[in-house]
Structure 1
């Protein structure tokens, strides 16, 4: 799955994102709305990740989506 597909299926993928990153609130996920940069920013904010760490986590999560 590529990120364009994630944006199109964001409502369906929010549950998976919620499981992966429990510290993200529903509001965080709604604000991100499938936008990769916003999602990385939310991970940085909630988990204290660097931008690179957030990107790696997103890549790993994306690879597990079908």
Structure 2
């Protein structure tokens, strides 16, 4: 998965990300800015998931988006 592409399309993807992970605020999504590590940290913080769970969630979600 090419995170350079995701980062470049982040503003377009934010709405879908918010739909999927509704606990993330608009400000948090802006702060993430398409950076995988920042998104992973926010998801762990909000949902209490392990790193492995977060990796599965992120990979599954973005696999179809790029």
Normalising by the residue count of structure 1, what TM-score does the alignment of the two structures yield? Answer: 0.93
Q: Tell me, what secondary structure is at the counterpart of 2:55?
A: helix
Matched, 1:39 2:39: yes
Alpha-carbon offset, residue 55 of structure 1? 1.1
Moved over 3 A (4+): none
Any stretches of 5+ residues in structure 2 without a counterpart?
Answer: none
Any stretches of 5+ residues in structure 1 without a counterpart?
Answer: none
Residue-pair matches, total? 66
- CA RMSD, Structure 1 to Structure 2 (Å): 1.1
- Between the aligned partners of 1:19 and 1:64, the Cα distance in structure 2 is 15
Normalising by the residue count of structure 2, what TM-score does the alignment of the two structures yield? Answer: 0.93
